[in-house]
Structure 1
């Protein structure tokens, strides 16, 4: 019972922290988003900086450290396609803080309906209606233009939070991430979000559980010289890298529990 009450109080605290710091950063986020909509580079930097600061302050006040295993350090100014597993809405908050440089998420079009946050998301990121082939094609084209401009793409190639038994991912990955990476000849960087599904499980009741966030940046996979005929192999390799890390982490936790 005591643990349940602590979990509820901690959840309320975390939500309050996120909302308060969002409101504090909102003028800078909105200004940057508005300028970014006019293709203004300063606007992109301002909005990204404000969003990243929002997340950093939130995690500090939640007393929740983010521990990153940097097996690869991205080069400043270089574009990548970051592919991460997706079991929790917490994934967006974490990747928004740790992914360096300028980037765009691939997000569901329904997000744009959210007050204020939706406006920011639509201006800075790529929206897609996965039920529409036309929307998927338009979003893929926008992603490739984004990569060509030197901004990275952050994508969850499972196609949403769909895994029934985390940390086992949905198989196979959607092919969009690998198509755009090959066409633009930019590296794929597998990103393992190790334990977000335990911190904020996808389900009811809505609860935030405290534990340090763990993330792994894996070595990049080059796409130089690859063609669309290699997309499935690239997808499979990315899947296996992330899945192996998740399986290893689960085994380690079981041995030390």
Structure 2
């Protein structure tokens, strides 16, 4: 049954993504950009399709008139539409460059202003950080997964330093968050979707980067996230 359900969900998911992208194209042509609004609709429908149950804490810590660098752990592709549907604020991701080649989806994320990152070349990765810094200066919030990829079993992977270099140099407040359970909905590299799973998300207190070096900030954020992950009943936070 899970195979049939998963096949159904992926077909509807693909058709919905294509439909919403096509709906947004004419507005781009006339100089409007509806893709933030469409992304939120896409995310809420996706959450229903995947039958995800959310338990969210700490949203009150996000002030609507402020911009932030959101940083959290990454367990599944489910995290993407989960965060867009939960955070009531326009923000940008840094997404791996290959995603921009996906038909319809790549067009949509390009016009949302998402920042492509090439993990294989350090010079290109550095350029992506500069692009993200520019977006922050233009008044956008940015969401980063400092692990750089999804965890296969929910254990936090080592953090990459670049995300913290970006946050420290822009001076933007960081809001750490912890996701627990999304890997149980859909594991890395898996086709099968496990419905009716609970995904717990906790937003932590904002952290100011003022006067803190990027390596120190990495240690501070990691320690807070590990503590929160343990409190949420996770399997534990690996180094």
1:25 to 20, 23, 35: 20
Partners of 1:34 and 1:132 in 2: CA distance = 33
Identify if the C-alpha distance between structure 1 residues 213 and 14 changes in structure 2 by more than 3 Å, giving closer, same or farther. farther
The answer for the alignment partner of 2:135 in structure 1 is 146
Structure 2 runs not aligned, ≥5 long: none
- How far, CA to CA, are the matches of 1:194 and 1:72 in structure 2? 19
> For 1:25 and 1:202, how far apart are their aligned partners in 2?
26
Conserved 8 A contact 1:109-1:129: yes
Matching of residues 1-257 of structure 1 within 5 Å: 5=1, 7-31=2-26, 43=33, 46-70=34-58, 72-123=60-111, 124-161=113-150, 163=151, 166-171=153-158, 173-204=159-190, 206-210=191-195, 211-223=197-209, 225-227=210-212, 230-250=213-233
Find the residue that maps to 2:164 and give its secondary structure: helix
Contact 1:13–1:62, Cα closer than 8 Å, also in 2: no
Count of residues paired in the alignment:
234
Consecutive unaligned residues in structure 1, runs of 5 or more: 253-257
1:168-224 deviation digits (Å, cap 9, x = unpaired): 2112x11122112111111111111111011101144x211121322111111112x
Q: 1:208 to 1:21 in 2, by over 3 A?
A: same
User: Aligned in 2, Cα 1:19/1:104: closer, same or farther, shift over 3 Å?
Assistant: same
Distance 1:61 1:250 in 2: 26
CA distance in 2, matches of 1:120, 1:156: 20
1:58 offset after TM fit, Å? 2.6
Q: Distance in 2 between matches of 1:97 and 1:177?
A: 23
Q: 1:184 to 1:67 in 2, by over 3 A?
A: same
Higher helix fraction (1 or 2) = 1
Instruction: Output the TM-score relative to the length of structure 2.
Output: 0.87
